[in-house]
Structure 1
């Protein structure tokens, strides 16, 4: 049995990652593939426990370093308990966020991108996706989508200032330019079905 593929969906708040992950999973299942849907932080019992710690409480609940360490620990458990076993049995794994979100969100200010990558090397042996989709959307449209989804209540990371989220978007753009062999930048505007079709076309070279 051949190894499965690991696909991640990245982008800022309101870009449609969760919606597109579900639609992409359906399309891949219709193509005859075994598909596992997961998310970060979370995706395993330990990862979900850490997710609760990370996304609840006040904005200053964790220092930048403590937050980055928690994300790295959640990811290590996620990979060990969920992702690797699924890939080894031949399943495709789709994750709503992964390492690149830590790089974009936690790799600012007190910590550098190199720091986040070092934590990932230590915690997860540098494990990377086969393909990463970076979903892009104009800032105002993304904010409207996020508000429609969350109302006036957002988690402690999503609720940060707009300047922070602009820096996150810039970081994703930089990663995509630096790693074109892994990243595909996807226009997430327009009808959801059209966005899913774009994603599927960008997976054609990996499909069996």
Structure 2
């Protein structure tokens, strides 16, 4: 069987036995992929492969159809993202982003999802400390959009009427968007006014200056 090579981001790892690890990647070609990295914990010294959480690079693996766990041949790391591990807030944001992908992604190609994931992790690593929470929220919203569930901020998710400039509605989680003031009567979702709608739109667009 010929190995498959694809760009990948490591989202989670845990030890297996005395020498190996099970690694869960999100990949460009195969979506979410779990691999067994045999003997990886015994490799050290010059030429060893860096396999750290949130690292990106080229994964080469033997992939068999209808299996949940595959065999890793090699991981050539091109980006460690070490900065995420040096700050609790950055790490927490990155972990939340990774968990969202792990919980909802499948074994299908989704370039938009990989792009949102990588851009989110890069932003969390490089942005100034004061804006780390905004970067985490932006990454979560953009990944949600890549899954096909971008929130409908206007028009009203129930009646379809445009919201006025200063209208305050409520967010309907089940419908995935904002209800206008009329349709929001009796609804239990959080109130969403024009400022909040603008902030959510900015987070989805990765505009963190607002």
Scaled by the length of structure 2, the TM-score of the pair is: 0.25
Structure with the largest fraction of helix: 1
Task: Mark the structure with the bigger radius of gyration.
Answer: 2
